[in-house]
Amino acid sequence: MQLYNTMTRTKEAFVPRRPGKVAMYVCGITAYDLCHIGHARSSVVFDVLVRHLRRQGLDVTFVRNFTDVDDKIIKKANTEGVSSTEIAERYIAAFYEDMDRLGILRPDAEPKATEYIGEMARLAERLIQSGHAYRTPSGDVYFRVRSFDGYGKLSGRDIEDMRAGARVAPGEEKEDPLDFALWKASKPGEPVWESPFGPGRPGWHLECSAMSEKLLGIPIDIHGGGQDLVFPHHENEIAQSEAAAGGEFCHYWVHNGFVRINTEKMSKSLGNFVTIRDIYARYLPEVLRFFLVSSHYRSPLDYSDQALDEAEKGLRRIYAAKAQMEQALTRAKWSGTKLPAEIGQELAKLEEGYAAAMDDDLNTAQALGHVFGLVRLAGRLMEDKTLAKSRETADVLRRILADLADWATVLGVFASPAEAFLEALKASRAARLGIDAARVEALLADRLQARQAKDFARSDAIRDALAGLGVTVMDTPAGQCWDVA
């Protein structure tokens, strides 16, 4: 498998440090608000990566943290007059609700920063003892950025360029404006822990270094997160971890791209901030997940209602094909008609193409192209009056369904029973478009009575009335059914 390594800016063959085992750490949320679509993208990207690595037989230990002590959490807690713990627990619970609906598997470990204060303090002590950090008279501890020769290697930033124009803010006791906090002395209204440096709390960057070292050991294989974390968070993690350990912290750095809302970067200040729950109010969670895997994880992702509508159509097409194949396989009589050799070759090529796409830096967009290739192949076979009844066609349809089921375990989509999902999708679309399902069913009952009475003019009029509501009526051997146009 090839993975794009942000550190080297190239795709590299993925080789774990220990054969057959993968140590993977991903930065989680700061628990002070509801999750937005950017959180959903990062969660889905690394969920798919873990699933794919495990599908290849690798033993993955996946750690994703919660930042439960932070300036934003403290500010919200003080505004509401509650503890930081209450704020953090509230939004961690909300995170689980959102991610469970999105089909995100739970990591092997989900450490909270407040559970590892001791490890963080000891890491800061090691850095002070080695000369890479220093304590100020007020009790803050800072990392000496210039003491670490490799600073800037992940983000590609030059330390002299960063230094130009940088200033130490009034009241700060930094030796250099580039130095960052490892420990912050206690202030009124903030949670406090004891440490060798006095009462206070850890800086944000320190927690991931301490927890990844404790839970995975270093060097770790994969460290992931959103592109916005490359600098300063991951750059600072590298500096403090490698300065303390004297060696490599992580070999593969994997970052997902930004989410844009109608081509603009998502931002609360721009008023285009979209939470996961905003989306769930209008679309099924699986539609959101399908939308997220429809693009390569490193590409910018443009969110819009139109994009979700297209994702919904694509997902519906796959489920409809599954339902059609399952129905076709219930036929009792099959003929001995032979399929052209090209059919088997095409199927094998699609299967190989899917595997190659997933191994090529987790190219889920290209992999879905092969999923739709299977759908098209199945459609051609079922539409051909001669081949549709072939016993060999039945074998191909079973193989396609098996492929879809296998690939669904990695992509996390189109894994539900087809008929149940299509009904849920119909209800979701109807609600979004303001279609009253009860009224539709009542009109269909009237239409059925009209058809039984051979009053076809009235039957057609009811069909036209339903079409005016945005409803398509289909007459099948099993009876009437409807869908949202």
- pLDDT classification of 273: cutoffs 50, 70, 90: confident
Q: Which of 469, 481, 35, 45 is nearest to 226 (CA)?
A: 45
Q: Count of alpha carbons within 13 Å of 463, Cβ hemisphere only?
A: 15
- pLDDT classification of 268: cutoffs 50, 70, 90: low
Tens digit of each residue's pLDDT (9 = 90 or more) over 126-183? 999 999 999 999 999 999 999 999 999 999 999 888 876 677 776 689 999 999 999 9
The hierarchical CATH code for the domain 305-419 is 1.20.120.640
- pLDDT at residue 276 in the model: 97
What percent of the chain has a predicted confidence (pLDDT) above 90? Answer: 87
Would the pLDDT of 2 be above 70? yes
Q: Mapping DSSP to helix (H, G, I), strand (E, B) and coil, where does residue 403 land?
A: helix
Would the pLDDT of 93 be above 80? yes
Angle, alpha carbons 375-367-60 (nearest 5°): 125
Would the pLDDT of 378 be above 80? yes
- pLDDT classification of 480: cutoffs 50, 70, 90: confident
The hierarchical CATH code for the domain 2-276 is 3.40.50.620
- pLDDT at residue 262 in the model: 77
Would the pLDDT of 15 be above 70? yes
Amino acid at 340: P
- pLDDT at residue 165 in the model: 65
User: CA 253 to CA 239: how far, in whole Å?
Assistant: 14
In degrees to the nearest 10, what's the CA dihedral of 331, 336, 342, 348? 60
Q: Is 133:144 a contact under the CB 8 Å cutoff?
A: yes
Span of 194-208, 263-277, 292-306, 309-323 with lowest mean pLDDT: 263-277
- pLDDT at residue 164 in the model: 67
Q: Which of 38, 446, 64 is nearest to 228 (CA)?
A: 38
Q: What 8-state DSSP symbol labels residue 102? A: T
Point out which residues pair with 183 in neighbouring strands: 141, 202
**Domains of the chain by residue range:** 2-276, 305-419, 433-484
Q: If you average pLDDT over every residue of the chain, what do you get?
A: 94
- pLDDT at residue 266 in the model: 77
């953090």: which residue's tokens?
88
């997220």: which residue's tokens?
292
Q: Is the peptide bond before 219 cis (omega within 30 degrees of 0)?
A: yes
Would the pLDDT of 269 be above 70? no
User: Which pair of tokens denotes residue 211?
Assistant: 């927890």
Mean pLDDT, residues 395-411 taken together: 98
User: CA 49 to CA 125: how far, in whole Å?
Assistant: 35
User: CA 397 to CA 378: how far, in whole Å?
Assistant: 6
User: CA 335 to CA 388: how far, in whole Å?
Assistant: 9
Tens digit of each residue's pLDDT (9 = 90 or more) over 235-267? 999 999 999 999 999 999 999 999 998 778 776
Q: Is 192:199 a contact under the CB 8 Å cutoff?
A: yes
User: CA 213 to CA 249: how far, in whole Å?
Assistant: 9
Q: Is 102:415 a contact under the CB 8 Å cutoff?
A: no
Would the pLDDT of 342 be above 90? yes
Estimate the share of the chain in helix, then strand, then coil, as percent rounded to the nearest 5. Answer: 50, 15, 30
